[in-house]
Amino acid sequence: MSATANKTLEATLAPPTRCKEHRLQQTLTEYREALHEAFNNGCTTMSATNDVVTPYNLPYQAKDALKSYVPKLHNTYNAKEVGDEHPLRFVNRAGKFDRDTSREYEICWNVPQPGRGTNFWIPLRLNPDQQELWDEMLDDESSTKVGELRLQKHRTTWTLHVTVEYEIKDTSELPENPTRVGFDIGESMLVAGCALQHDIPTKPLLLNGKEAKRIRKEMFTTLKRLQERDASEWRVEERFSYYQNRLTDIIEKASRESVEYANQFENPVIVMENLAYIRESLDYGKYMNRRLHSWAFARLQGRIEDKAKDASIPIRYVHPQYTSKTCHSCKHIGYRPRQAEFKCKNPECHVSTFQADINASANIARRVDPWGESLPWKQADDDSPQDGSGCDTATVHRETSAPAQMTLTTYQD
């Protein structure tokens, strides 16, 4: 059985000639003026938007995109204002590409322009990690469908984003005899992974978050200093993009290693905490809130999910409550004398001291119960590390959850 997934392909336009650069800039400026006028006129329907954008000198693919997008700003996104840096949007009929392997840039895009016979071709520099999807999209026999296109200018560089819909294996149902792999996303330990084999934590994965934490701290300090010096906007934006690109590299590497780790097991199912409201729930004081809120937990989870879909690995999200407080073996409440150490309070439990992040990931994994059995959670005391390092936790206290009825022993390497 198959399902579909969406992904955005990215390509950089080869440096255009002066004439093509002028035409691209002219179309982008015209589009943004039309967008602002339609939004400021309160257009909530396609018909009302059409009346506003029709006089503008835009290709029909851009006008159709505006007619679909502007009503969403009012009806779906409830936008209060529109920024100045919106990309130039096209509907899927603008997805016309040509391929010739003898060229330096083998794929070219036919850039829509207003009027008949005014379009022009421009070469694309592809993201090499997305080469396979580009090949499928350009294959006439492929079922991959082109969606919306977005053209964005960043200083002197033009970037094209193409949304595609492609077939993947249906992961809505769990496989028989699944291997549950829990991932705990945090700040000190970027990713802690733990697979349950025969209900025993096995071959844990630990990806340190020290470098990401250092980059975020440096980014905050640098941007604050630039703003205090009243630096130019482009300079602030350049430094921000620099740090974001470095963090993106870390996220991409961590998400790839996480999925590769899960894929080594038979019939893997990736389990992660539902951290949808982490920004609203965390409250560790002004300094720590700024650090934790600047770290995109959901961004890393999203990239793991994207790569898991490509690998046909099911994803499940569970409530995060008490995953770091509960002993994975006896289910009693424990505590952490230090950030990376968990101690069980149950004198009869064979687990005395355990790696805290692995303990949490094992608890996350076992919350996906293939047999449907469950027990209610009981309230627990605070388990913040006694050395004061609780600021690095990403645990969220929300409504109760239900664990499975099974017993775990200490993890095996």
Residue 21, pLDDT score: 96
Q: Could you tell me if 348 and 243 lie in one domain?
A: yes
Q: Are residues 116 and 237 part of one domain?
A: no
pLDDT of residue 334: 84
Within this chain, do residues 305 and 363 fall inside the same structural domain, yes or no? yes
Q: What is the pTM of this model?
A: 0.59
Same domain, 338 and 363: yes
| Residue after which a domain boundary falls, among 168, 195, 223 | 168
Regions of the chain short of the pLDDT cut 70: 1-2, 275-296, 369-413
Asked if 101 contacts 15 with a C-beta cutoff of 8 angstroms, the reply is: no
**19 and 147 co-located in one domain:** yes
Contact 77, 39 (CB under 8 A): no
Confidence at residue 375, expressed as pLDDT on a 0 to 100 scale: 36
Q: How far apart are CA 337 and CA 197, in angstroms?
A: 28
Is residue 209 located within the same domain as residue 98? no
Instruction: List the CATH number of the domain containing 213.
Output: 3.30.420
Q: Is residue 216 part of a domain?
A: yes
pLDDT attached to residue 237: 81
Q: Do 147 and 209 fall within a single domain?
A: no
Whether 101 is covered by a domain: the verdict is yes
Angle at 359 between CA 384 and CA 197, to 5 degrees: 170
CB-CB neighbours of 69 under 10 Å? 20
How many domains, the chain? 2
Whether residue 381 lies inside any domain: the answer is: no
Q: How far apart are CA 303 and CA 292, in angstroms?
A: 19
69 in the same domain as 213: no
Residue 392: inside a domain: no
- Give yes or no: residues 100 and 212 share one domain: no
- Same domain, yes or no: 153 and 266: no
The answer as to whether 378 is a domain residue is: no
Domain assignment present for residue 399? The answer is no
CA pseudo-torsion sign 346, 350, 356, 359: negative
**How are beta strands 107-111 and 120-126 bridged, if at all?**
antiparallel
187 shares a domain with 142: no
Expressed as residue numbers, the domain containing 305 is 179-367
Domain membership flag for residue 408: no
pLDDT at 265: 93
The verdict on residue 373 lying in a domain is: no
The Cα 95–Cα 100 span in angstroms is: 17
> What per-residue string of b and e applies to 223-249 under the rule 16 or more CB within 10 Å gives b?
beebeeeeeeeeeeeebeeebeebbee
121 shares a domain with 224:
no
Q: What is the pLDDT of residue 264?
A: 94
